[in-house]
Amino acid sequence: MGYGIRIRRTNRRKFRINKRRAGLFLVAVIGILIGAAAAIGGTVHYIENKPTKLRANVDVIADIPVITDFVSAKTMERPGEQRKIKYIVIHETGNAGKNANAASHNNYLHTKANSQQKSWHYTVDDREIYYHIPDNEIAFHAGDGLSQDGGNRNGIGIEMCINPESDYEQTLENTAKLAAMLLKAYDLSIDSLKKHEDFSGKHCPDHLLSEGRWDEFVTMVKDEMNAE
């Protein structure tokens, strides 16, 4: 009799242990499934947002010289974070001072390199283009911080000069050529051509918008893309 009771007790204990083991096993399986799902999700997210590979550097676009003079890496202006390129973002410098051309804006960026989070990729005037930060790195021109789908995180910022001795119409043409080249180089459609205003509401590019010429500019870029 006593023997029989011991067996029953043993069985009960075994059953309790098994139940606990089964519970632990279930928790482990659920954990593994969640981990796997997260890993797959993370990979998909990584693939979708994989940094764009830098296109081959150019020295000349049409007959416009392009001067590459990168701002030092690991500075406030150029943290060096690579990203996927989704937009070309058009700006005007807002600087109507004499000699506020592309070269002087390049100097400005190099002088200010580690003092402000304000930067862009290209400056265009009527004679030349300066290339300051690699296309596939984040810069700070769109006024929208580092928002996920924003202009800073995903855009190549182009500043057009408005200095009085520079021919604005020629600057527009040069900018259209640059924007068309970049859109094609990164397999982007004309819909990826944006203005600063699209991201932060700032009235920029100021002259172009004030004169109601944005659509005309988009057509210029489209024509350049279709040329050749």
- Name the site residues for Zn ion (rule: CB under 5 A): 91, 196, 204
* Closer Cβ to Zn ion, 153 or 196, answer by number: 196
Residue 32 CB, shortest distance to Zn ion, in Å, is 49
Find the DSSP H helices in 59-205. 102-111, 151-154, 168-185, 197-200
Task: Using DSSP, state whether 155 is helix, strand or coil.
Answer: strand
Residue 95's CB is within 10 A of a number of other CB atoms, namely 15
Residue 142 CB, shortest distance to Zn ion, in Å, is 7
Residue 195 CB, shortest distance to Zn ion, in Å, is 8
* Closer Cβ to Zn ion, 3 or 138, answer by number: 138
* Closer Cβ to Zn ion, 177 or 196, answer by number: 196
Residue 179 CB, shortest distance to Zn ion, in Å, is 14
Residue 91 CB, shortest distance to Zn ion, in Å, is 3
Handedness of CA 180, 181, 184, 186 (dihedral sign): negative
* Closer Cβ to Zn ion, 78 or 91, answer by number: 91
Query: Contact at 8 Å (CB) between 215 and 176?
Result: no
* Closer Cβ to Zn ion, 22 or 145, answer by number: 145
220 Cα distance to chain centroid: 24
- Stretch (H or E) spanning 60: strand 60-61
